[in-house]
């Protein structure tokens, strides 16, 4: 259905948000109303021009006090800017926060907080909502005391080992680029068909930021790296988790790998690696080493603990697949999604995210009948390489059972698999790299839940 053909009779569609979006019982009524109002407002904007002649008159005849009476914010003095030297979201948005999964063991010092994808617009994740994964707690490092070293694994591998202060790094030529980051374990619980309730928990180890930093290639060149012998780099973090990861030198020489200090126009947040992290576009999150303090050039992969024991894929024949870095093409519908309720039938603008570690998204198809038939969604600009892409499709829900799915194709022609196709290659005992098609079941009651469709 194209935007210009939305009949005004379909204006009823509304979504009630997932219960775990709310802070506590007392907040439910208040926040729920707020979210519905936002939806109504954005819907009204989308159809402006079509229903403009009818909607205002209908609202006024309801005797809506929010139209007929002046609210306090129109009749009082507002707060000075000095009241909020660093701006925070509205108190009405306090339900939209990172959350830890109740289904995952809460080990002190080892944790993951999921991004609330169900409430996101566009493609950029606000820094305060960026998902967060650490193996031994996060640190707020004094940038004056932080050092970044480049060295070689053997004499002559780099001509001049270098140590940079933050000031040294920040005077060098920098680039700013938008990239997604996804933990290799994202959607991991679905391997066991755990069916966690919302998209925050199924896909929330995913975020997208504009990162600013210096290409690692430039720093290696400054150190006089021997690129004939050097085939891999080892990146090392300054936190207590001894996080080290091997990155192939070809990726570094592509110029995409950044030693980054900026995130969405300001310095990185402490949880996301302040003051320095590695940005490895398209590659699983564990390789984006945070609190980055050292890069070593070597001639073979390092088989560090987080690539030999963890972050390996158990294949059906019992072998382990190692160094499976690239995050393959994937997508998910974020609105409407699990835990939400369609309050009545009618029009909905279905919206979601697609991404590929191999480049740009070429197209996204959406199904409302569990994969029997597909319609091509609209891709919102910009569509960038190794970045999230927002897709949308208009839908007229007839009030019957429906299964919503999205299926992305990237510029290499790779098509996101369904569970049958994925399990045929990968078996059933993996934890990592689940890029299967996600299904949301819509019941006639409007309630939406997480189901798996082969
Ligand atoms: N770097 C260090 N030094 N220590 C860590 O625990 N966690 C890794 C990676 N970099 C980690 C790290 C993992 S497993 C992921 S998925 C990403 O950071 C998460 O990055 P984020 O917290 O900025 O989302």
State the Cα–Cα distance between residues 347 and 43, nearest whole angstrom: 10
DSSP state, 219? H
Q: What is the pLDDT of residue 339?
A: 95
Alpha helices in 260-396 (DSSP H): 305-308
State the Cα–Cα distance between residues 223 and 252, nearest whole angstrom: 14
> What size, in residues, is the chain?
454
How many A from CA of 325 to the centre of ligand 1? 14
Ligand 1 neighbourhood includes 132 CB (under 6 angstroms): yes
Ligand 1 neighbourhood includes 204 CB (under 6 angstroms): no
Q: Which of 110, 246, 273, 285 to mutate to test the pocket of ligand 1 (most atoms within 8 A of CB)?
A: 285
How many A from CA of 183 to the centre of ligand 1? 8
The CA-to-CA distance between both ends of the chain, in Å, stands at: 27
State the Cα–Cα distance between residues 192 and 203, nearest whole angstrom: 15
Residue nearest to ligand 1 atom 13, measured at CA: 286
How many A from CA of 261 to the centre of ligand 1? 15
SS3 24: coil
How many A from CA of 369 to the centre of ligand 1? 37
State the Cα–Cα distance between residues 229 and 336, nearest whole angstrom: 52
**Residue 45: which H helix or E strand, with range?**
helix 25-46
Residue nearest to ligand 1 atom 24, measured at CA: 132
Ligand 1 neighbourhood includes 152 CB (under 6 angstroms): no
The label of the residue with tokens 């090392």 reads 236
Ligand 1 neighbourhood includes 272 CB (under 6 angstroms): yes
Same CATH fold assignment for domains 133-321 and 330-451: no
Ligand 1 neighbourhood includes 290 CB (under 6 angstroms): yes
State the Cα–Cα distance between residues 75 and 57, nearest whole angstrom: 25
Cα–Cα distance list, 442 to 282, 372, 405, 439 (Å): 32, 16, 11, 10
Strand partners, 345: none
The label of the residue with tokens 């949880």 reads 271
Residue nearest to ligand 1 atom 21, measured at CA: 132
Residue nearest to ligand 1 atom 7, measured at CA: 134
- The residue among 350, 310, 305 whose CA lies nearest residue 332 is 350
Q: What is the pLDDT of residue 17?
A: 58
Q: What is the pLDDT of residue 10?
A: 39
Residues 198 and 298: beta-carbon distance below 8 Å: no
118 phi and psi angles, rounded to 5 deg: -65, -20
Half-sphere exposure of 340 (CA within 13 A, CB side): 25
Residues 207 and 200: beta-carbon distance below 8 Å: no
How many A from CA of 226 to the centre of ligand 1? 29
- Asked whether the bond before 275 is cis by omega within 30 degrees of 0, the reply is yes
Fold that domain 133-321 belongs to in CATH? Sulfite Oxidase; Chain A, domain 2 (3.90.420)
Residue nearest to ligand 1 atom 9, measured at CA: 286
Residues sharing a CB contact under 8 Å with residue 348, sequence separation 6 or more, in sequence order? 13, 15, 336, 342, 394, 395, 396, 397
What number of H helices and E strands is found in the chain?
Answer: 10, 25
Task: Write down the CATH number for the domain with range 330-451.
Answer: 2.60.40.650
Q: What is the pLDDT of residue 19?
A: 45
Ligand 1 neighbourhood includes 289 CB (under 6 angstroms): yes
Residue nearest to ligand 1 atom 10, measured at CA: 289
Ligand 1, residue 311: give the atom nearest the CA.
Answer: 14
Residues 376 and 430: beta-carbon distance below 8 Å: no
Cα dihedral 6, 12, 17, 23 in deg (nearest 10): 130
Domain parsing of the chain, residue ranges:
133-321, 330-451
Ligand 1 neighbourhood includes 330 CB (under 6 angstroms): no
Q: What is the pLDDT of residue 167?
A: 98
Residues 338 and 202: beta-carbon distance below 8 Å: yes
State the Cα–Cα distance between residues 335 and 117, nearest whole angstrom: 9
Residues 391 and 331: beta-carbon distance below 8 Å: yes
Q: What is the pLDDT of residue 106?
A: 62
How many A from CA of 286 to the centre of ligand 1? 5
Per-residue pLDDT of the chain (454 residues; tens, 9 = 90+): 444 454 443 334 566 655 443 332 222 222 222 232 333 333 233 333 323 333 444 555 578 999 999 999 999 999 987 888 999 999 999 999 999 876 665 666 668 999 999 999 999 999 999 999 999 899 999 999 999 999 999 999 999 999 999 999 999 999 999 999 999 999 999 998 888 899 999 999 999 999 999 999 999 999 999 999 999 999 999 999 989 999 999 999 999 999 999 999 999 999 999 999 999 999 999 999 999 999 999 999 999 998 988 899 889 998 988 887 899 999 999 999 999 999 999 999 999 999 999 999 999 999 999 999 999 999 999 999 999 999 999 999 999 999 999 999 999 999 999 999 999 999 988 899 999 999 999 999 999 999 999 8
SS3 157: coil
Residues sharing a CB contact under 8 Å with residue 208, sequence separation 6 or more, in sequence order? 123, 124, 125, 178, 179, 180, 181, 355, 387, 388
């Amino acid at each position: 259905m194209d935007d210009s053909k939305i009949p005004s009779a379909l204006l009823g569609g509304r979504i009630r948000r997932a219960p775990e979006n709310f802070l506590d019982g007392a907040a439910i009524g208040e926040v729920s109303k707020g979210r519905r109002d936002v939806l109504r407002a954005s819907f009204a904007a989308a159809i402006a021009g079509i229903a403009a002649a009818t909607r205002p008159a209908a609202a006024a005849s309801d005797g809506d006090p929010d139209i007929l009476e002046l609210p306090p914010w129109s009749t009082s003095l507002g707060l000075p800017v000095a009241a909020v030297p660093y701006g925070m979201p509205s108190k009405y948005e306090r339900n939209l926060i990172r959350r830890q999964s109740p289904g995952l063991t809460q080990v002190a010092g080892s944790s993951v907080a999921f991004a609330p994808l169900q409430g996101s617009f566009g493609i950029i994740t606000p820094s305060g909502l960026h998902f967060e994964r650490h193996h031994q707690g996060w640190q707020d490092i004094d940038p004056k005391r932080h050092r970044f070293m480049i060295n070689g694994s053997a004499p002559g591998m780099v001509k001049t080992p270098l140590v940079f202060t933050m000031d040294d790094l920040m005077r060098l030529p920098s680039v700013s680029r938008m990239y997604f980051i996804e933990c290799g374990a994202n959607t991991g619980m679905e391997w066991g068909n755990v069916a966690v309730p919302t998209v925050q928990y199924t896909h929330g180890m995913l975020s997208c930021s504009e990162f600013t930093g210096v290409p690692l290639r430039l720093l290696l060149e400054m150190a006089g790296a021997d690129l004939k012998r050097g085939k891999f780099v080892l990146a090392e973090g300054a936190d207590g988790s001894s996080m080290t990861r091997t990155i192939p030198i070809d990726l570094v020489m592509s110029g995409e790998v950044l030693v980054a200090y900026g995130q969405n126009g300001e310095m990185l947040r402490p949880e996301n690696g302040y003051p320095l992290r590695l940005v490895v576009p398209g590659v699983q999150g564990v390789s984006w080493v945070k609190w980055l303090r050292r890069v070593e050039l070597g001639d073979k992969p390092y088989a560090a603990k987080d690539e030999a024991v963890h972050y390996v894929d158990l294949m059906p024949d019992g072998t382990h697949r190692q160094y499976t870095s690239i995050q393959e093409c994937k997508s998910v519908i974020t609105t409407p999604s699990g835990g939400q309720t369609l309050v009545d039938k009618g029009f909905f603008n279905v919206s979601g995210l697609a991404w590929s570690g191999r480049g740009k998204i070429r197209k996204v198809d959406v199904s409302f009948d569990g994969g029997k038939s597909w319609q091509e969604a609209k891709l919102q600009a910009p569509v960038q390489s190794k970045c999230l892409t927002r897709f949308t499709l208009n839908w007229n829900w007839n009030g019957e059972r429906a299964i919503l799915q999205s299926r992305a194709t990237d510029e290499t022609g790779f098509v996101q698999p369904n569970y049958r196709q994925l399990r045929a290659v990968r078996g059933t005992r993996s934890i990592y790299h689940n890029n299967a098609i996600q299904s949301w079941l819509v019941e006639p009651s409007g309630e939406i839940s997480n189901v798996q469709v082969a």
